[in-house]
């Protein structure tokens, strides 16, 4: 392992500390070494509007940064937004070398910061652990490039590919998978489920208290007939709730519309035949500047609709070591995900005790 790789890995660890708190800004970590190669400063970006990672690390280093090296996971900003340009702070600090993992995709920054630093005699190296840095900020880059939310679908199945119902969920889930689920939720801005999940599980749909800074997670419920109970668990959290419904649904209770409108934002969409919303219409309701990442934890019906519309960027599939053959309900989520032309690119397969966590991205996601 080279010195650059070693320090960039540590900077990436710092960057991940901003998970769930930085959007619409990217997650960034930075480390400063003095002229002798000793660490004298470090930092990460915690929240939009607050100090950037580079600034924090340089302020911590102070005069010791002169003649030193800055490791940063993303190209530093060179424009004035909520905070001053990081390039100015780098130049003033006396840093002689900057090692960055990946260029910023923001057209206000991309390549410009590198040129500015080079013009001031600073050696710049780009591309150290670039693929890892890009993966960490895939939601941010997707927002910058495509101006739309990044959609992740999470599904849990038994070894014989049955989806978890209320009775079988205990067999599929375990504490390790539960924590991974909470981490996925923290990295999202929106958690989306179908009304079937609400009626079956009555979930809270929060990231709970496993994190020091739980995110403000918007819960989105796809509920054409407005069947969400007014006393559902999800209303007991202060996090906002959006309910998508069809005002022309034959079973619509207008008194319930009045009651639920006090607990949630009700969004009226026209459902297609069979009471199904067009997933593209759903995504148009979200502001990509506020809702950059959407996590779908719905059942087979919700997942199928987004799959059929080619609107899922990434699949996270938990495969339990247990079998549940006695249930008649067959899970088709995996077979749907792997049917041509919906090809997936395997990103990782991690053993979780005796279970398996598979992460794959959609090669042909429609933009």
User: What confidence score (pLDDT) does residue 324 get?
Assistant: 62
Higher pLDDT, 124 or 145: 124
Task: Give the residue ranges of DSSP H helices in the chain.
Answer: 3-16, 53-61, 86-93, 112-119, 130-136, 138-146, 169-172, 175-186, 195-201, 254-260, 279-284, 300-308, 333-338
Give the contacts of 333 (CB within 8 A, at least 6 positions apart). 155, 157, 163, 300, 303, 304, 317
- Provide the mean pLDDT of the chain: 87
Q: In 23-133, which ranges are E strands?
A: 29-33, 39-44, 69-72, 97-100, 123-126
- Given a cut of 70, whether residue 334 has pLDDT beyond it is no
Question: Rounded to an integer, what distance in angstroms lies between the CA atom of residue 105 and that of residue 107?
Answer: 6
One CATH from 3.40.430.10, 3.30.420.40, 3.40.50.980, 3.90.1110.10 for 148-362: 3.40.430.10
Task: Give the residue ranges of DSSP H helices in 223-316.
Answer: 254-260, 279-284, 300-308
- Given a cut of 60, whether residue 342 has pLDDT beyond it is no
Higher pLDDT, 366 or 129: 129
User: What confidence score (pLDDT) does residue 170 get?
Assistant: 40
Confirm whether 3-139 and 148-362 share one CATH topology.
no
In the chain, the percentage of residues whose pLDDT exceeds 70 is 87
User: What confidence score (pLDDT) does residue 180 get?
Assistant: 83
pLDDT tens column, 264-278: 999 999 988 777 899
Phi first, then psi, for residue 172 (nearest 5°) are: -85, -45
Phi first, then psi, for residue 22 (nearest 5°) are: -95, -25
Of the segments 209-223, 255-269, 331-345, which one has the largest average pLDDT value?
Answer: 255-269
Which fold does the domain 3-139 belong to in CATH? Cytidine Deaminase; domain 2 (3.40.140)
Least confident of 89-93, 157-161, 281-285, 345-349: 157-161
User: What confidence score (pLDDT) does residue 328 get?
Assistant: 46
- Given a cut of 50, whether residue 168 has pLDDT beyond it is no
The candidate with the shortest Cα–Cα distance to 139, out of 226, 7, 19, 270, is 19
Mean pLDDT, to the nearest integer, of 96-117?
Answer: 94
User: What confidence score (pLDDT) does residue 367 get?
Assistant: 55
Pair 117, 93: CB distance under 8 Å: no
- Given a cut of 70, whether residue 148 has pLDDT beyond it is yes
pLDDT confidence of 332, banded at 50, 70, 90?
very low
Give the contacts of 262 (CB within 8 A, at least 6 positions apart). none
Our CA dihedral for 352, 354, 355, 356, rounded to 10 degrees, sits at 70
pLDDT tens column, 5-59: 999 999 999 999 999 889 889 999 999 999 999 999 999 999 988 999 999 999 9
Enumerate the domain spans of the chain.
3-139, 148-362
User: What confidence score (pLDDT) does residue 214 get?
Assistant: 64
Question: Rounded to an integer, what distance in angstroms lies between the CA atom of residue 2 and that of residue 141?
Answer: 28
In the chain, the percentage of residues whose pLDDT exceeds 90 is 57
Mean pLDDT, to the nearest integer, of 74-83?
Answer: 85
- Given a cut of 50, whether residue 195 has pLDDT beyond it is yes
Higher pLDDT, 366 or 3: 3
- Given a cut of 60, whether residue 340 has pLDDT beyond it is no
**Residues noted as catalytic:** 54
Question: Angle between the 86-93 and 53-61 helix axes, to the nearest 10 degrees?
Answer: 20
- Given a cut of 70, whether residue 104 has pLDDT beyond it is yes
pLDDT confidence of 247, banded at 50, 70, 90?
confident
Antiparallel, parallel or unpaired: β 344-352 and 355-362: antiparallel
- Given a cut of 80, whether residue 261 has pLDDT beyond it is yes
pLDDT tens column, 278-329: 999 999 999 877 889 999 997 888 888 898 888 999 999 888 887 766 444 5
Instruction: Name the token pair of 197.
Output: 């999940």
């Amino acid at each position: 392992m080279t010195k650059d790789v070693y320090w960039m890995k540590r900077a990436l660890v710092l960057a991940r500390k901003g998970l769930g708190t930085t959007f619409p800004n990217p997650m960034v970590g930075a480390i400063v070494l003095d002229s002798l190669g000793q660490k004298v400063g470090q930092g990460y970006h915690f929240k939009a509007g607050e100090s950037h990672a580079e600034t924090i690390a340089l302020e911590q280093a102070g005069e010791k940064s002169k003649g030193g090296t800055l490791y940063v996971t993303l190209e530093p900003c060179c424009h004035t937004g909520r905070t001053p340009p990081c390039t100015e702070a780098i130049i003033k600090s006396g840093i002689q070398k900057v090692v960055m993992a990946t260029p910023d995709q923001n057209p206000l920054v991309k390549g410009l910061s590198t040129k500015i630093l080079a013009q001031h005699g600073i050696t710049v190296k780009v591309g150290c652990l670039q693929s890892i840095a890009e993966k960490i900020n895939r939601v941010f880059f997707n927002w910058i490039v495509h101006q739309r939310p990044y959609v992740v679908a999470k599904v849990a199945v038994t070894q014989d590919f049955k989806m978890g119902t209320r009775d079988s969920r205990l067999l599929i889930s375990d504490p390790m998978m539960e924590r991974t689920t909470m981490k996925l939720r923290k990295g999202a801005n929106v958690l989306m489920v179908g009304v079937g999940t609400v009626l079956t599980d009555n979930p809270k749909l929060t990231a709970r208290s496993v994190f020091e800074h739980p995110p403000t997670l918007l819960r989105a419920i796809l509920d054409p007939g407005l069947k969400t109970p007014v006393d559902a668990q999800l209303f007991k959290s202060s996090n906002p709730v959006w309910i998508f419904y069809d005002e022309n649904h034959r079973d619509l209770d207008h008194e319930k519309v009045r009651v639920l409108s006090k607990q949630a934002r009700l969004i009226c969409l026209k459902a297609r035949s069979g009471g199904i919303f067009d997933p593209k219409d759903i995504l148009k309701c979200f502001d990509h500047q506020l809702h950059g990442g959407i996590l779908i934890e719905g059942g087979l019906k919700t997942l199928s609709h987004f799959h059929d519309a080619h609107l899922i960027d990434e699949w996270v599939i938990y495969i339990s070591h247990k079998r549940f053959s006695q249930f008649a309900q067959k899970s088709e989520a995996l077979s749907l995900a792997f049917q041509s032309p919906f090809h997936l690119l395997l990103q990782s397969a991690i053993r979780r005790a005796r279970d398996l966590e598979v992460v794959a991205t959609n090669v042909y996601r429609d933009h």
